[in-house]
Amino acid sequence: MPTPRTRRSRTGRTAQLAGVAGGQATRQLSTRTANVFRSDEAAAAALEARSIEMADRLLTVLGTMKGAALKFGQMLAMVDGGLVPESHREQFQSRLAALHANAPTVPWDRMRRQIESELGERLASAYKDFDETPVAAASIGQVYRAVLRDGREVAVKVQYPGIDTAVRGDLKNLALFLKVAGRTMRSPLDATALAAEVEARIVDELDYVLEADHTRAMSRVFRGHPFIRVPAVVSDLSTTRVLTTTWLDGVPLRSVADADPDTRRRTAEILYRFYGLTPHRNGIYNADPHPGNCLVMADGTLAFLDFGLLGRLSLHDSAAERATLRAVIEGDAEALARLSYERGFLSDPSAVDADDLLSMMRSVCWWFCEDREVEISSAAVNELPAQMATPRASLALAQQFSMPSTYAFRARAEGQIPGLLSTLRPTINLHRVAREWVYDEPPVTGLGRVERAWAMEAGHAAPAS
């Protein structure tokens, strides 16, 4: 139950957020009024300055939210393209990353009581051995290493006491901010609808029972896979706030960042197969591609962790995505405009230059849309235009482009893949891998052929046609 001090803090944060949003709305209105008498260049510069000011003030308020800041960071990552001007985005993301690092610290005694309360038994009864030093910490919990009575090593993920209440309250605060400030953002997303969608998703992350179900689903899909590992859930030691899974003993993804080119290329292809192909082959996917959720095993296989955010892709949506990508790959601007309209991304395709839309999409898909090797580096990824969030190819395209709020997490997951791959700096032709699911073609890489043989033997369905 929240203490009076907690309630006062949350009330204060609500007032701060409302003040940021309300003040920004007033300043934005006055700026737009003054812009009537300014040149186009001066008007654009004035609006950009106001957007930078709002982003800075918002970060200051988020800094008071402690553990919840990371969850808000997930929301901001999706509206960043419209909230923060391109000239200020790198600095904004850097300051946001600093907030991510400020995970709350909770004494071991409180964490132990949380575990015992959730499991209904003493720690010594539930586990043969339990290392009280966490191996990982995040915004809403910590991960510990333990040994079961039967000798199996496990990872035990434990929520901070009371963090669920704090995050839920602060999510409502940020939803209020987005509703008030939405009209000042240059994002194509409906701020109110986005707030509701993100709140629902992040609340899901607070439920470890749901995450256990997600993990079981992914574990079933990849059971016996030749180069992908997913932990198994220990059901009798998992609850809403404690999740126990089998321990996967690997090293961080960054450990192969300086490996030989073949190792980095092979690892990058596995990452792409897991995050890029799984949605279309199995209808489910990890919606949070992140280097911290991947481990490199001693045998070169990859282990994937943390399924709090699990996305689902219907056959209909998969077919629509693949048709859209075929139009991009084949340079069919008219088909791309028509498909974008049918999917709800364009309100009036006749009002835009289809070639502008094609140019934007080819910029976004540069790392796999052409049949050639490309170097996927941090520098290349950072040069990506923010056109998926804020199209700048033409004023007409900017006015007509929109993104359904229900697609925000899908777009975020897809958009994070090249950034994840860039940690390895591979030079690779992923177009040939993508053709397996975009065109339903047979694999041409060694990994692809091995995976296909496993899928056929295991009875897994091929990508939908």
Tens digit of each residue's pLDDT (9 = 90 or more) over 175-205: 676 666 555 555 555 666 666 776 777 788 8
* Residues 231-258 pLDDT 10s: 999 999 999 999 999 999 999 999 999 9
> Token pair of 145, please?
């290493």
pLDDT of residue 352: 87
Q: Is 165 helix (H, G, I), strand (E, B) or coil?
A: helix
Helix residue ranges per DSSP H, 350-390: 354-364, 378-382
Q: State residue 56's pLDDT score.
A: 66
Q: 71 or 127: which carries more pLDDT confidence?
A: 127
Instruction: Give alpha helix (H) positions in 36-67.
Output: 40-62
- Residue 153 has φ and ψ, to the nearest 5°, of -85, 140
Report the percentage of the chain scoring pLDDT > 90.
51
Q: In whole angstroms, what is the distance from residue 244 CA to residue 393 CA?
A: 48
Contact 357, 392 (CB under 8 A): no
> Per mean pLDDT, which of 28-42, 192-206, 267-281 is the most reliable?
267-281
Residue in the structure block whose two tokens are 């812009």: 35
Please give the model's pTM, rounded to 2 decimal places: 0.81
For residue range 62-91, list pLDDT tens digits in order. 655 554 555 555 555 544 444 555 555 566
Rounded CA-CA distance 192/174 in Å is 11
Instruction: Sort 371 into a burial class: Cβ within 10 Å, 0-12 / 13-18 / 19+.
Output: exposed
How many angstroms separate the CA atoms of 289 and 292, rounded? 9
